[in-house]
Amino acid sequence: MKMTRTEIEQRVSALAPWFHNLDLDGVATAPDHFLGDYPRSKWKHFAASIPADLSGKSVLDIGCNAGFYSLEMKRRGAARVLGIDFDDAYLDQARFAAEVAELDIAFEKLSVYDVAGLGERFDLVLFMGVLYHLRHPLLALDLIREHVVGDLMVFQSMQRGSRHVAEVKDNHNFWNTALFEEPGFPRLHFIEHRYADDPTNWWVPNRACVEAMLRSSGFTIVGHPEDEVYLCRAAGAPAGEGAVYPARGNGHGAAR
């Protein structure tokens, strides 16, 4: 039986606070979001770049939060949608949202660092808004590439700093220190305490760094439909085979 508006409002308020502003049968879950109607306001800029028909496809939504993107993928007909997050409060919201929307979506408590345990590759992997919340962002990208991306990954990260992307060279001379002052050089800003009042914002990349990290983890960037959003395909093994067998240096970093 369908829930009444009052029942939905009561559950929405019991499950608060919400990060995703969902429309649950006319009830908005986060109408006062500091980013506006989020993430719908972002989604509308790249919705057209993802296949409109996902019939028969499997989707993994990593860091699904209240499930905005999982719901949208299921609405596009995906055969299987799995949303994972390590926060029970968000998973409870996502399960409730799917129930109201009458959509069959699985939600599991799982950290991005444990995706190998899924033992499954997905046609579409969403990795949106999570990278900068991680203490080990490259490890996460390497694991996602290695274990769960079957075809396409939709990636998004907050970015700060220069939007310029410098030409990427294979090597740099040890005495070239000016390089590190160039705005287009990949830069990952470390937040020791808080950014935007959030102690889980650890590493905020500039645009060059986002693109370099994706490539370094074995992805090819095939689309950039929105400032912060990239479409990627798995290309090869991560550079230096990830963290396990790093490419061999010469000990002091001088150019050989």
Nearer to ligand SAM, 185 or 229 (CB): 229
Instruction: Provide the token pair at 136.
Output: 């080990």
Q: Count the alpha carbons within 13 Å of 45 in the hemisphere toward its beta carbon.
A: 14
Binding to ligand SAM in span 192-221, by CB under 6 A: none
Instruction: Provide the token pair at 30.
Output: 């986060």
Least Å distance between CB 61 and ligand SAM?
A: 7
By CB under 6 A, the count of residues binding ligand SAM is: 18
Nearer to ligand SAM, 116 or 179 (CB): 116
Biggest distance spanned by C-alpha atoms of the chain: 71
Interaction mask 34-63, ligand SAM, x per CB under 6 A: -----x-----------------------x
Stretch that binds ligand SAM, among 84-92, 95-103, 220-228, 242-250 (CB under 6 A): 84-92
Instruction: Provide the token pair at 33.
Output: 């979001």
Least Å distance between CB 80 and ligand SAM?
A: 18
Least Å distance between CB 213 and ligand SAM?
A: 16
Contact with ligand SAM (CB under 6 A) among 18, 46, 90, 155: 90
Q: What is the DSSP letter of 238?
A: P
Q: Count the alpha carbons within 13 Å of 60 in the hemisphere toward its beta carbon.
A: 27
Least Å distance between CB 37 and ligand SAM?
A: 12
Nearer to ligand SAM, 9 or 87 (CB): 87
Kindly state whether residue 72 participates in binding ligand SAM, applying the rule CB under 6 A: no
Measured distance CA(39)–CA(22) in Å, rounded: 9
Strand 229-234 relative to strand 219-226, pairing: antiparallel
Closest of 14, 25, 108 to residue 70, by C-alpha: 108
DSSP letter string, 161-174: S----PPPPS---T
Query: CB of 131 within 8 A of CB of 46?
Result: no
Kindly state whether residue 67 participates in binding ligand SAM, applying the rule CB under 6 A: no
Residue 110: other Cβ atoms inside 10 A: 18
Nearer to ligand SAM, 68 or 96 (CB): 68
Q: What is the DSSP letter of 125?
A: E
Stretch that binds ligand SAM, among 70-78, 80-88, 180-188, 228-236 (CB under 6 A): 80-88
Contact with ligand SAM (CB under 6 A) among 58, 65, 159, 217: 65
Binding to ligand SAM in span 122-161, by CB under 6 A: 128-130, 133-134, 156
Query: CB of 63 within 8 A of CB of 129?
Result: yes
Least Å distance between CB 60 and ligand SAM?
A: 11
Instruction: Provide the token pair at 185.
Output: 């050089």
The footprint of ligand SAM (CB under 6 A) covers 19, 39, 63-65, 68, 85-87, 90, 111-112, 128-130, 133-134, 156
